Structure 1
Amino acid sequence: MANSGAEKLKLYSYWRSSCAHRVRIALALKGLDYEYIPVNLLKGNQFDPVYRFDLQDFKKINPMGTVPALVDGDVVINDSFAIIMYLDEKYPEPPLLPRDLHKRAVNFQAMSIVLSGIQPHQNLAVIRYIEEKINTEEKTAWVNNAITKGFTSLEKLLVSCAGKHATGDEIHLADLFLAPQIHGAINRFQINMEPYPTLAKCYESYNDLPAFQNAVPEKQPDAPSTN
């Protein structure tokens, strides 16, 4: 492991969080050993001062009460993009950004579409609020609209530069954001991927990569048992 001999990293995570999912992929790609500390967002562990994490309440680790949170010794980072960039600079192999400036910009664009254009509209707090204030049908329509709009933009962005993966044959930043988003769209929200052949092709390629497959929600220690 790349961090052998150092204090083990700690990742505060929730099995179904796409934000935590993308960080798990980064950790796996970098070959980093870490301690997985589950935060049950459905049960409200993140807001419960009685529920202890390493003798701290979670709001002291992350005042926003969201996952993921990465602890590296005295360093605490709470945003998935910031965590991934921190890991990429501290452990530069394999690099998550291409040297080509255009491809690098495309990676940042794809990341931004997922990070700001899709994921916030489908997170637990938002869809719960819509369901409680309006109804389940409106919640579903809201999520479907956000994903459809985002996937349409991503398809147009990536169609001319995709190879085996989003921006060529190497894994880069965009793939870390695409994989969890597509996984959630298919498995949580039953989105049809037929209109997005480039995204679907990328997603198929991730199925052959252990770093991606080991990071999927269903394989996390806090995932509900299917037995």
Structure 2
Amino acid sequence: MSDSAVLANRRAYLTIFSRPSGLLSHLVRVVVREKNLANVNIEFLRPGDENEDLVHLKVDTASELPVLIDRQLVLTDVRTILEYIDERFPHPPLMPIDPAERAAARQAIEEIRGEFYKMADIIENGSAAKVRAARKSLISGLTGLATSMGRRKYFLGSEISLVDCAMAPVLWRLGALGVKMPGSAENLNEYAQRLFARPAFKASLTEIEEGLRV
């Protein structure tokens, strides 16, 4: 019997291994809560922690979190995890039906991760000079986003999507990152408050993440 088959016999529910903080782990938890999934087990691992199942599967917990396990399926790519959850549990849908709109949503998520998440990581871990440059870049990028969004309720329109789930964790951390948005980005602040007020977002927060809002 394969390693994944052995694990499938031991786990009755879909399991997600998550950091108590960290943008990617938070993003996946936001999606889980938006789906209102009862039969999902979220297990938290701090840096340096090991899990017997993940060691057995040769998953590097130092870098490959979050991880999703659903019976014999093991996913470590965040984009794949997000789309698997959305397709495995289709209600409520978090991706558009139209293929062009779905492609645009995928691209937006990758841009958010490639720009905003990257700058947040540099602010948390980089040298003083890199931190200053990253803050400036993050403010510039978010200000541009505020302009392009206008007064839309959510990123793609009137309904929440995976793109909004990706935006919420970084917007939540702006104060902790030392980022203060200009008055011209008022609509982005209003958008952020709409996301934070959602019961699913509140339920996604760990105790550590609750303390990040300053």
**TM-score normalised by structure 1 residue count:** 0.75
Q: Tell me: CA distance 1:120–1:10, structure 2 relative to 1, closer, same or farther (3 Å).
A: same
| Separation in 2, partners of 1:59, 1:192 | 43
Deviation at 1:52, TM superposition (A): 2.9
Q: For the residues of structure 2 that align with 1:55 and 1:19, how far apart are their CA atoms?
A: 21
Partner of 2:80: 82
**Counterpart position of 1:141:** 132
Unmatched tracts of structure 1, length 5 or more = 1-5, 46-50, 132-136
Question: Residues 81-113 of structure 1, C-alpha deviation per residue, up to 9 Å, x if partnerless?
Answer: 211101111111111112356654553343122
CA distance in 2 between partners of 1:166 and 1:37 (Å): 30
Aligned length: 200
Q: Deviations over 1:23-54 (max 9, x none)?
A: 1011112222322222223xxx1xxxxx4303
RMSD (Å) for aligned C-alpha atoms: 2.9
Tell whether 2:18 aligns with 1:13: yes
- Cα deviation for residue 72 of structure 1 reads 1.1
- Would you tell me which structure has more helix in proportion to its own residues? 2
Q: What SS does the corresponding residue of 2:183 show, helix, strand or coil?
A: coil
Partner SS state of residue 36, structure 1: strand
Q: 1:23 aligns with which of 25, 28, 31?
A: 28
One of 100, 117, 120 as aligned partner of 1:119: 117
Percent identity over the alignment? 22
Query: By how many angstroms is 1:219 displaced?
Result: 6.5
Q: How does 1:1-227 map to 2 (within 5 A)?
A: 7-32=12-37, 33-41=39-47, 45=48, 51-57=49-55, 60-62=58-60, 65-100=63-98, 103-123=101-121, 127-128=124-125, 130-131=126-127, 137-159=128-150, 162-163=152-153, 165-192=154-181, 194-218=183-207
Mark the CA change 1:157 to 1:79 in structure 2 (over 3 Å): closer, same or farther. farther
Counterpart amino acid of residue 202 in structure 1: Y
Structure 1 runs of 4+ with >6 Å offset: none
Give ranges in structure 2 of 5+ residues lacking alignment.
1-10
Provide the TM-score with structure 2 as the length reference: 0.79
Which residue of 2 is the match for residue 3 of structure 1? none
Contact 2:21–2:206 under 8 Å retained in 1: yes
Alpha-carbon distance between aligned partners in 2 of 1:154 and 1:217, rounded to the nearest angstrom = 27
CA distance in 1 between partners of 2:207 and 2:110 (Å)? 25
